[in-house]
Amino acid sequence: MKAIGAMILAAGLSVALGGSAFAQADLRALRKRDEILQQQDIARQNALAAQRERSAAESRYAAQSALRTLEASATPPAHPALRPALSPTPPRGTSAEAMAADIARMDRLTDQALAASNARLRAIKPAS
């Protein structure tokens, strides 16, 4: 019986001690896998950055070549091209003289209406 108990105890100890060793190995494997994944991610980001830089350089080159083409095709005019003179715009609204004449006419009409109104009042009520 003692031998069986000793074997069970030995098996339990080996499982307990072996389990922790296995767990450490598993943690090492996880850490190694994470390092590999991180290195792959860094490599992918570096590749994307290089691609962006290459695309920007190509865009700059295309813009510079287009500007060179435009500058080469630009020629100064042989003679200055002036716009035709525009006719002066007529004044809008009424002139100052027409407004003064309208004001004088309104004053005359107001005076005539006031005189007619006064005449009617005098006809209704005799002066006392």
User: Is 89 within the bounds of a domain?
Assistant: no
Contacts of 94 (CB under 8 A, 6+ apart): 102
Return all residues near 68 (Cβ < 8 A) that are at least 6 apart. none
**Structural domain boundaries, residue 58:** 2-71+97-121
CA distance 95 to 100: 9
pLDDT per position as a tens digit, 8-62: 766 666 655 555 555 667 888 899 999 999 999 999 999 999 999 999 999 999 9
Q: Is residue 90 part of a domain?
A: no
Q: Which of 27, 8, 28 is nearest to 16 (CA)?
A: 8
> Is 22 a domain residue?
yes
In a domain, 14, yes or no: yes
CA 128/CA 107 separation, integer angstroms: 30
Quote the CA–CA distance of 52 and 55 in Å, as a whole number: 5
| 0.85 surpassed by pTM | no
Question: Please, what is the average pLDDT of the chain?
Answer: 84
Is residue 96 over pLDDT 90?
no
Per the structure, the count of domains in the chain is 1
